[in-house]
Amino acid sequence: MRYLFTTFEGGGHVPPAILMASALKARGHEILFVSDEVNRRAVEATGLEFEPWRTAPNRLAAAQIDDPLQDWRRIWPPAIVRSVCDAVSTGPAARYASDTLRLISAFAPDLVVSNELLLGCLIACDATGTSAALLTGNLWPYPTRMDQPPFGPGWAPPTGPSADRAHRHTRAMIRSWFNAGREQLNAVRADHGLCPLNHTLDQLDSARLIVLGASRAFDYDARPVAPYVYAGPLVDLPAPSEVLARERLRVLISFSTTYQAQTAVMARCMKALAPLPIDVVVTTGPALSPADLPESPNAKVVAWADHDQLVPNCDLMICHGGHGTLVRALRHGVPVLCLPMGRDHPENGRRLTHLGAGLMISRHASVHRIRRQAERILLDGAFKQAARKIGIRIIREQPIERSNALAALESVAGAQLAAAA
């Protein structure tokens, strides 16, 4: 069967899609992978056929200046949602729809597997009668699941009637923010002979399957109903590396690989740990240069390190709360101090604290508070025990969840193929 994968360069969106596309190719299917030109090398390195966006936004580099979201510039939640609509979901929907229509005509896929933010791709599927699935590399980012807390505030599951009411009200409020892009979306739908939608997020109903790149164990042990299916963490989690003997505790500071204005908070974390008798390793990733951060007596700052070798030899990770970063830490039984920068970070951080595998504090926390919370985790073995426990479960269940998700994708594609026969 043929699968058309559509995604965009926006941080952690692309590696999970590459992983799922490669898994389907290994099962004997034909894949065409569409994304920004900057992702060509990573896609083709896996043997997948790559096609860049032609009329849709097409980043040539992952530099800060090329980031279409620039969501780190905004604080007010409705403005953040509006920026996502304008930059990705509804603003360029006509261009994403045009490119996807061309690719559907040329490649004739049995299933289009799209990033959940690319609503224009779903319009193309509606216009051609092509089956569509959505793939998110982490937690579901829309306020459409009634079995989960509303996405955004970082709330734990409700524990009583008043919390239930607060969740319902907040879910409805967040949903209303997405309607900022409804007119743009309906204009594109009209251009392709489709009826208007009452709400922007009604476009999601086009998807016959929604694949969640997260572990159910991490996601409050949720039991989703169709069209949702868990694929487990869509990151490669190799076998544990050797844990080396150390004379001092070691802490890893590692924030987003995309620019999120993280320089100041990383510097405060370094300052907080400076008086402690520990070793600190700081990895900046491509978003920053090591020269952007101050020197510290007990810290080594590097642009990159192999986290699968480094993390098992750490006693604590301090990070922004990106899903892949947290999962990698938990996989190695390392507790986390999370300082969310935005996006899905508060949701991941709340799940971390719910599991007892770490703590979450504001990214604006003082040096004193960061030091106090880091010491709390380092001195209380319960955090490490909880991290190890959930990590073992995630690893045990990951192959099962991924296999189920791949089978679900094959089932939807097979139904499309049979209908066309």
Rounded distance, CA 171 to CA 401, Å?
27
Alpha-carbon distance 100 to 90, whole Å?
15
Query: What angle (nearest 5°) sits at the alpha carbon of residue 39, between those of residues 212 and 113?
Result: 35
pLDDT of residue 75: 72
Report the distance separating Cα 377 and Cα 361, nearest Å: 13
- What does the pLDDT read at residue 257? 77
The number of helix segments (H) and strand segments (E) in the chain equals 13, 13
Q: Characterise 228 by phi-psi region: left (phi > 0), alpha (psi -120 to 50), beta (else).
A: beta
- For residue 389, the SS3 value is helix
Choosing among 3.40.50.2000, 3.40.50.300, 3.40.30.10, 3.40.50.80, the CATH entry for 250-379 is 3.40.50.2000
Q: What residue spans in the chain does CATH classification 3.40.50.2000 cover? A: 2-236+397-420, 250-379
The predicted-structure confidence for 300-354, as pLDDT tens digits, reads as follows 999 999 888 999 999 999 999 999 999 999 999 999 999 999 889 999 999 999 9
Q: What's the rounded mean pLDDT across residues 24-53?
A: 97
What average pLDDT does the segment 219-227 reach? 91
Distance linking the first and last C-alpha atoms of the chain: 13
Report yes or no: 196 and 186 within 8 Å, Cβ to Cβ: yes
Tell me which fold the domain 2-236+397-420 belongs to: Rossmann fold (3.40.50)
Tokens representing residue 211 in the block: 């694949």
pLDDT in tens, 131-154: 999 999 999 999 999 999 999 999
Report the C-alpha gap between 232 and 358 in whole angstroms: 21
Contacts of 106 (CB under 8 A, 6+ apart): none
Q: Average pLDDT in the 397-401 region? A: 94
φ/ψ of residue 279, rounded to 5: -100, 140
pLDDT by residue (tens digit) across 22-32? 999 999 999 99
Q: Supply the pLDDT for residue 249.
A: 96
Residue-level pLDDT at 224: 87
Confidence label for 386 from pLDDT (cuts 50, 70 and 90)? very high
Q: What is the pTM of this model?
A: 0.94
Cα torsion through 112, 116, 118, 119, rounded to 10: 90
Q: What is the Cα–Cα distance from 154 to 241, expressed in whole angstroms?
A: 32
Q: Which of 207, 212, 294, 299 is nearest to 253 (CA)?
A: 299
